[in-house]
Structure 1
Amino acid sequence: MARVDQAVFLAAGRGVRLGPRGREIPKGFLEVGGTSLIERAVGLLNAAGIRDVTIVTGHLHAHYDALARRLPGVRTVHNPDFAESGSARSLAVGLAATEGPLLLLEADAIWEKAALTAVLRKTYPSLLLASGPTGGGDEVWIWAQSGTPRPVLDFMSKRCATRRGPPFGELVGITRIGAAFRAALLATEDRFFTSDPKGDYEDWLIAAATRVPLPLRRIDDLVWAEIDDEAMYARARATVWPRLAARE
């Protein structure tokens, strides 16, 4: 099984729901515990042996460009269509700029080290990480179907009533993409963007998973948070960070 030694961050979002703060800085530059989300994540990746980091930029990209000049092993690639497209287009830009297995991450989240440890284990060439319910708001729910020896991705949605039965877990935004699943993404790219030119990357993962199963791993008590608006930012600082710092 190929080792994962590179990571791609999706960081092109406009941060509209953050209001004035989102017009000043990209979400990846929000600080929790005295460090920006992106710098903390890159540091954890480096500590795990991943020193090749690509950041797909869009909104206020100069912040990430400056970071790349300062941090060894970090580079940026720009999604020129970020304002008119969804996160799937940023994933396409990231795939075009890299080769081989990779770790795919969202730049607007904070998570404990255990998240990386779980995904980087060599048990599966591809793996999507889930958590138990967090109550963080704006959750993306994951539904599973049976797989051997681990459940595999069936569907994802922000609407919990989309599927019968309870969801498998909550999307964390860290996905290991091996060679076979990467090939499935590329094989479905044209059809996906023809049917959904403004689609999100989660929907592209679902489409690719119909060709190559994407195993799931759930950590019920994982400490993490995504930040999309001021309420989620306040929760990350006041509630999530103290729990995370206590563990690490």
Structure 2
Amino acid sequence: MKGVILAAGRGSRLGDATDALPKPLMPVAGRTCIDFAVEALLAVVDEVIVVTGYRAHLIEDHLAREWPDAPLRTVRNPQLEAGNLTSLGAARPLVGDAAFILTNADHLFPADMYVRHFAPMGDAIAIACERERPVLPDEMKVIEESGRLTAISKTLPKYDGAYIGTTAVPASLRAAYWQAFDRVHAERDLATASVEMVLHQLAPDLATAPRVCWLSGLKWFEVDTPEDLAIAREGLSA
């Protein structure tokens, strides 16, 4: 099992704060955003792959300094203005034929995320979702039927909850996942193509439709804006 952390974007919604630091290195509760993702994944994977881009050397230096003995590799995505599908594409050669968990550097999950909250062990692609709180307009919304994903988009007028940026792909469905990835890569504008579009491609076929895992009692934070950063800092310093 490998872990993939998408950490290539600038984080422009944070404003001037990212002139000096990329979003994954924003300080929160005595550490940085990306440290939360690395720690959680290392509990369940054999290797972590971090995709860097904007100010890549700063992230690479941080990881080498703070996680010197961890099974961790970095790869750069040179397409900084493209959607995050290209970041996953950059990691693909390092993932190889392994099962993997995909997540984002700006999602601050607890250390037991993949042990206690989202621990898919079956033969289905699984996605982490929530439905116990109000869904914000900019979130990735999902519709499920009998536990399977039927639609995922930020613009769904009706939905069952929100996807929180984490997908687990078992070895048995690795080929199907990458086939769907290739279709999205070929058919969509890479400037806006996202990893969520791969899930949408997989949904119509019952054999590959991702399983929606509704998480309960998970305390986590997403850092997109200065307000998000302030909330994360306050919530994690308590």
Question: Quick check: TM above 0.5?
Answer: yes
Is 1:202 paired with 2:229?
no
d(CA) in 2 for partners of 1:15, 1:234: 15
Matched residue of 2:217: which SS?
A: coil
CA RMSD of aligned residues (A): 2.1
1:168 is aligned with what amino acid? D
Question: Which residue, out of 79, 83, 87, partners 1:86?
Answer: 83
2:203 is aligned with what amino acid? A
Note if contact 2:124-2:210 (Cα within 8 Å) is conserved in structure 1. Answer: no
Question: Which residue, out of 160, 163, 177, partners 1:185?
Answer: 177
d(CA) in 2 for partners of 1:188, 1:44: 27
Which sections of structure 2, spanning at least 5 residues, go unmatched?
none
* Residues matched between the structures, number: 228
| Structure 1 segment 114-193 matched on structure 2, within 5 A | 114-117=112-115, 118-132=117-131, 133=133, 138-146=138-146, 151-161=147-157, 164=158, 167-193=159-185
Q: How far 1:195 moved relative to its partner?
A: 2.0
Note if contact 1:136-1:225 (Cα within 8 Å) is conserved in structure 2. Answer: no
| Structure 1 segment 1-248 matched on structure 2, within 5 A | 4=1, 6-46=2-42, 48-70=43-65, 71=67, 72-83=70-81, 85-99=82-96, 100-117=98-115, 118-132=117-131, 133=133, 138-146=138-146, 151-161=147-157, 164=158, 167-198=159-190, 199-211=193-205, 212-238=208-234, 240-241=235-236
Matched residue of 1:82: which SS?
A: coil
d(CA) in 2 for partners of 1:39, 1:137: 27
Q: Compute the TM-score of the two structures, normalised by the length of structure 2.
A: 0.86
Matched residue of 2:95: which SS?
A: coil
Q: Compute the TM-score of the two structures, normalised by the length of structure 1.
A: 0.83
Note if contact 1:64-1:76 (Cα within 8 Å) is conserved in structure 2. Answer: no
More helix by share: 1
Note if contact 2:7-2:105 (Cα within 8 Å) is conserved in structure 1. Answer: yes
Change beyond 3 A, Cα 1:232–1:68: closer
**Alignment identity in percent?**
27
Change beyond 3 A, Cα 1:134–1:59: farther
Change beyond 3 A, Cα 1:43–1:112: closer
d(CA) in 1 for partners of 2:109, 2:3: 16
Matched residue of 1:13: which SS?
A: coil
Deviations 1:169-215 (A, max 9, x none): 22111211112432123213333123213211111221133341211
Deviations 1:6-54 (A, max 9, x none): 20001111211111112221211112211112113212322x2424110
d(CA) in 2 for partners of 1:176, 1:121: 7
d(CA) in 2 for partners of 1:192, 1:241: 37
Note if contact 1:144-1:168 (Cα within 8 Å) is conserved in structure 2. Answer: yes
Matched residue of 1:92: which SS?
A: helix
